Structure 1
Amino acid sequence: MRVMPLFVVLGGWLSMPAFAAEADVLMQRLADAEKKQSYQGTFVYERNGSFSTHAVWQLVNEQQLNERFLQLDGPAAEVVLLNGKIQCASEDMASQVREVTPWRQQQLEPELLSKWYNFQVIGESRVAGRPTVALAVRPRDQHRYGFELHLDRETSLPLKSLLLDESGQLLERFQFTHFAPGSVAAAEVKGGADCKAVSVPAGQVDPASTQWRSDWLPDGFQLIDSSVRPSPASQESVTWLAYGDGIARVSVFVEPLGGAVVEDARSQMGPTVAVSKRISTAGGDVMVTVIGEIPLGTAERIALSMRSGVDQAPQ
């Protein structure tokens, strides 16, 4: 099970004044909606031809955002978050969430987002028995994917999200089948007996002290988090960097090879790509792996752009 970010915060513009005014109102409501409203519901997640069903509870109380996700079919899986940071997870989930440091919350800036995406109101719809308005989110370049979002008319929360590739083909679907805004009991956002505490990996450093950098990123992408921690397979340390544009996110892992012989690799499963490139540096060869929901070509270009502090970018 992959815990997907449920809600995407957008901003945009339209050429027609009446629709532009509506889009501005929707933009502001959406920017404020996710972290200020309590709700519960059930949603379906589709990726790479497979489906799963999940229950979700969100409780906003005294400046705290409590979330709980429970997989309802297939292997039992559960995760609980507080203010966006993972607190506990079931055993299957715990082995996954320990591999990546929880995301820091990005500052949402709708006006900046509109530089990288074009937003259009495309009509009315109905999801989980509730009236919604549909927004098309189209990237302004080839380095990110587009979305179709269906926003609840009452709460402005997305009840349906379709992730689309460059040709408009569906990569991922998130859709509520039941949605109930309003009060949520504190007991409903507490993990069950199989939800085990998840510790933050040791060895984290401030992003400013990380020696690795990217010499090329798509417009709008910025470093939002980083850490350095011991490799589970060697005595070397692995550097992790996270980049985002406010919607799309990508992780970069840099691991010294220590003389090991490895091959470049690339793969894609649904919207998620993974690209690994062997790069030579003044300190020895490293393997750079880029993972994210971005086009393969973009991931490869980011991987090849990674430089350490002692290396200079090629002229």
Structure 2
Amino acid sequence: MRAIPLVPLLLGGWLVLPVHADDAQDQLKRLAQAEQQQSFQGTFVYERNGSFSTHRIWHRVADGKVREHLLQLDGSAQEVLRVDGVTQCVSGTLEAGVSNIPDSPAHAFDAAKLSAWYDMKVGGNSRVAGRPAVVVTLTPRDQHRYGIELHLDSQTGLPLKSLLLSDKGQLLERFQFTELDTDAPTDQMLQPSADCKPVKVVKAKADAQKQQVAWRSDWLPPGFELSSAAARKDPDSKALVTSLMYDDGLARFSVFIEPVSGAAVTDIRTQLGPTVAVSRRLTTPKGDAMVTVVGEIPIGTAERIALSMRNDAAPAATKK
């Protein structure tokens, strides 16, 4: 997510002749297994839109559960505790809008499925955080998703570095370990601070479930499927907000739909690094609704998704 293409600079001296795609699929399968089987702890940096932050992570796999504790080390002390992908508590500015929908390890990194949407190759070897790594590139086959470059630890298969790249090779986002230890964290390391506030699980009622089914999209980028749906009452407006999450096994975006009745609302079209947010007001037979698409997808794709949302299969029109 930077104006200068960084791939040639970052890989200079590391590239070798590309290896068959099956080897890339094997590396991704190894990655999926590693995050569900390998305990570790370490420090990583995160870069987006020219802004850097440093984080500490403790990740333990024991008794069939994956427990993960993250803490931001600079700026505000933002903290997250997750168990099997479900957020248990958060602190700092992360408290607003946290989802407790669990990740789906079985769905992520389905190499055979991803090969339909990404051209996957092993691009060579590198060294990250003092550890040898294998470089795997995933180049999208269309304009509806970003490219990804992964540097996977040769010993464990864990991701030591990942780069999210635009179609022009611009760096949109960087995640990179500066130190990694494969020793399992202790109970004390996984214990959140008193500032970590519990995340409440909101259970959808029967009418909320109907609302979820009513909303659908007339168009989705190829390969994206609905992975979860939820509904909750907005604490301010008391309106029922429907949220739908879609993914292609790697990239994700969410659609939020909230009814509006005569309120003055503004359409939004913005991007910060790889993350876009597009809001459009739609008119349906059941009244007006504000549809917001948020995710790491190109902004034109997000806008098309927002305009394609339908309620009860009835046509919708953009409110002028």
Q: Same fold (TM over 0.5)?
A: yes
Aligned to 2:130: 129
- Mapped pair 1:277 → 2:280: yes
Shift of 1:183: 2.3
8 Å Cα contact 2:224-2:247 kept in structure 1: yes
Unaligned stretches of 5+ residues in structure 2: 1-16
Could you report, residue by residue, the CA deviation over 1:193-233 in whole angstroms, capped at 9, with x for unpaired residues?
Answer: 21121112343655895310011101111111111111233
Q: Distance in 1 between matches of 2:266 and 2:45?
A: 37
Aligned to 2:168: 167
- Mapped pair 1:289 → 2:292: yes
Q: 1:206 to 1:64 in 2, by over 3 A?
A: farther
Equivalent AA in structure 1 for residue 29 of structure 2:
Q
Could you report, residue by residue, the CA deviation over 1:57-106 in whole angstroms, capped at 9, with x for unpaired residues?
Answer: 10000110000001111111111000000111124322242xx3434415
Q: Distance in 2 between matches of 1:207 and 1:147?
A: 37
Q: TM-score, normalised by structure 1?
A: 0.89
Shift of 1:264: 1.7
2:242 to 239, 242, 253: 239
Q: 1:262 to 1:24 in 2, by over 3 A?
A: closer
8 Å Cα contact 2:161-2:175 kept in structure 1: yes
8 Å Cα contact 2:19-2:122 kept in structure 1: no
Q: TM-score, normalised by structure 2?
A: 0.87
What percentage of aligned pairs have identical amino acids? Answer: 53
Q: Distance in 2 between matches of 1:198 and 1:313?
A: 35
Q: Distance in 1 between matches of 2:231 and 2:269?
A: 24
Aligned to 2:120: 119
Aligned to 1:13: none
Equivalent AA in structure 1 for residue 101 of structure 2:
P
Question: SS of 1:189's equivalent?
Answer: coil
8 Å Cα contact 2:87-2:100 kept in structure 1: no
Could you report, residue by residue, the CA deviation over 1:214-268 in whole angstroms, capped at 9, with x for unpaired residues?
Answer: 1110111111111111123323211111111111110101111111122322000
Equivalent AA in structure 1 for residue 181 of structure 2:
A
Aligned to 1:253: 256
Equivalent residues in 2 for 1:1-315, closer than 5 Å: 19-20=20-21, 22-97=23-98, 100-105=99-104, 107-108=107-108, 109-203=110-204, 206=209, 210-309=213-312, 311-312=314-315
8 Å Cα contact 1:48-1:270 kept in structure 2: yes
Q: Distance in 2 between matches of 1:277 and 1:161?
A: 32
Aligned to 1:6: none
Q: Distance in 1 between matches of 2:137 and 2:19?
A: 17
Q: 1:131 to 1:208 in 2, by over 3 A?
A: farther
Could you report, residue by residue, the CA deviation over 1:272-315 in whole angstroms, capped at 9, with x for unpaired residues?
Answer: 0000111110011111100000000000010011000151479x
Could you report, residue by residue, the CA deviation over 1:7-56 in whole angstroms, capped at 9, with x for unpaired residues?
Answer: xxxxxxxxx99644533432331231111100000000001111000000
Q: Distance in 2 between matches of 1:310 and 1:27?
A: 38
Question: What is the aligned-residue RMSD (CA, Å)?
Answer: 2.0
Q: 1:294 to 1:21 in 2, by over 3 A?
A: closer
Q: 1:263 to 1:183 in 2, by over 3 A?
A: closer
8 Å Cα contact 1:37-1:182 kept in structure 2: no
Q: Distance in 2 between matches of 1:26 and 1:44?
A: 23
8 Å Cα contact 2:25-2:120 kept in structure 1: no
Q: Distance in 1 between matches of 2:70 and 2:81?
A: 6
Equivalent AA in structure 2 for residue 225 of structure 1:
S
How many residues get paired?
A: 297
Equivalent AA in structure 1 for residue 183 of structure 2:
G
8 Å Cα contact 1:48-1:171 kept in structure 2: yes
Unaligned stretches of 5+ residues in structure 1: 1-15
Q: Distance in 1 between matches of 2:266 and 2:210?
A: 29
